[in-house]
Chain A
Amino acid sequence: GIQVEQSPPDLILQEGANSTLRCNFSDSVNNLQWFHQNPWGQLINLFYIPSGTKQNGRLSATTVATERYSLLYISSSQTTDSGVYFCAVTSPLSGAGSYQLTFGKGTKLSVIP
Chain B
Amino acid sequence: DGGITQSPKYLFRKEGQNVTLSCEQNLNHDAMYWYRQDPGQGLRLIYYSQIVNDFQKGDIAEGYSVSREKKESFPLTVTSAQKNPTAFYLCASSRTAFNEKLFFGSGTQLSVL
Contacts and interface: CB of A to CB of B under 8 A. Distances in A.
A106 B97 contact: no
B42 A105 contact: yes
Interface in A85-103: 86, 88, 90, 99-101, 103
A100 B98 contact: yes
Contacts of A105: 41-42
A111 interface: no
Per DSSP, are chain A's interface residues mostly helix, strand or loop, or mixed? strand
B90 interface: yes
Nearest to B40: A108
A48 B101 contact: yes
A104 B42 contact: yes
Interface residues of A, number: 21
A53 interface: no
Given A42-B107, A43-B90, A99 B102 contact: no
A55 B104 CA distance: 21
B97 A86 contact: no
Interface in B57-113: 88, 90, 92, 97-104, 106-107, 109
Interface in A2-39: 30-31, 33, 35
A86 B43 contact: yes
Given A33-B101, A99-B97, A101-B98, A42 B42 contact: no
Contact of B42 (A33, A44, A48, A86): A86
A91 B41 CA distance: 21
A99 B98 contact: yes
Contact of A88 (B97, B102, B106): B102
23 contacts: A31-B100, A33-B101, A33-B102, A35-B104, A41-B88, A41-B106, A41-B107, A41-B109, A42-B104, A42-B106, A43-B90, A43-B104, A45-B101, A45-B102, A45-B104, A88-B102, A90-B99, A99-B97, A99-B98, A101-B45, A101-B102, A103-B43, A104-B42
Given A48-B100, A103-B42, 18 more contacts: A30-B99, A33-B101, A41-B37, A41-B88, A41-B90, A44-B104, A45-B103, A45-B104, A48-B101, A86-B42, A90-B99, A99-B99, A100-B98, A101-B45, A101-B98, A101-B102, A104-B42, A105-B42
